[in-house]
Every structure is written in structure tokens, then in C-alpha cells.
Amino acid sequence: MIAFYLPQEFAECLDKGVEMLFYIEEDTFDRKDIQNVVFALKRISGSLRN
């Protein structure tokens, strides 16, 4: 199923994804990789709001 979101809805979905990253178990991913993902998600989310 493909979902289409308005930019604001997509930004909120990305925010939830960022929140989920806080609950990843230790040693699952490299810390720097997670930080890079969070940075990218935050930039996308911010761009969609503007």
C-alpha cells in the first residue's frame, strides 16, 4: 500500500521516526550512522515545513 502525505503530515511522520531512534538497543548500529540518519530526517522535516 502506498500512502501519500501532505508535507506537514510527512514531517510529523519523520518526527515520529526520529523519536523511535531513541529506543534502538545499544550496539545495533554505529552511533555516527544513527546521528547521520537523524540529521537527514531533521533536514527533510524542516524543509517540508518551510
Regions of the chain where pLDDT drops below 70: 1-4
Task: Quick: pLDDT tens for 15-24.
Answer: 887 787 788 8
pLDDT at position 3: 62
Q: How far apart are CA 9 and CA 33, in angstroms?
A: 25
Name 22's Cβ contacts closer than 8 Å, sequence gap at least 6.
none
pLDDT at position 49: 77
Q: How far apart are CA 31 and CA 8, in angstroms?
A: 28
pLDDT at position 13: 75
